[in-house]
Amino acid sequence: MQLIDPQKFEVVKVYSFIEPYTGKSAYVGYYRPYTKNYNRNLNDDFDSKFVEWLQSMNLHDVQNVVSEDILFDIQKPRIQQIYDGGRPSTIMSLTCHGDYSMDEVMQMGQICGYAINIQVYWNSIANNFLMPLGGVMTFDKTKEAYFLDVLSKIVPI
């Protein structure tokens, strides 16, 4: 086990939920850069908004189940194996942008957005009847630079 380059330190966040139509549970997670002011034990604006987005898709029992600093070379492969490990999966597609009104969009002519695809790992033996998830998610337009920066650095598990 070796300490990785401090410039490559990351935090992994994993959330569990239940899809209400099939009753199946699943995990979704991402890596994000480790920063000095980021506390893995607390949700910052992005993490809180991510939970809100999951809840807005009518997913039930959304919980943060893993929040871990990635400092050593063996951690990422272990996490990948835990969640990927042969489970059926689908993609969650999110298109994210500021919460502009239609008048603001018409006045500006365009808005910045970001699309991400995150793997959803299902607790299911079969790959049938698994729901692809997705939607358009908004964030506080006054924090647009922050959200777009975080979104650009998100790496799905």
* Digit-coded pLDDT (tens) for 9-23: 889 999 999 999 888
Average pLDDT, the chain: 89
Count of CB atoms situated within 10 Å of the CB of 139: 23
Residue extents of the structural domains in the chain: 6-156
Q: Residues with Cβ < 8 Å from 123, sequence gap 6 or more?
A: 24, 25, 26, 27, 87
Q: Residue 51: what pLDDT? A: 94
pTM of the prediction? 0.88
Q: What percent of the chain has pLDDT over 70?
A: 97
pLDDT digits (tens, 9 = 90+) for 60-85: 999 999 998 888 888 988 888 888 77
Per-residue pLDDT at 123 exceeds 80 = yes
Give me the pLDDT at residue 127, please.
Answer: 63
Average pLDDT of the residues in 96-108: 93
CA distance 23 to 56: 17
C-beta neighbour count of 45 within 10 angstroms: 13
Query: Is 80 exceeded by the pLDDT of residue 130?
Result: no
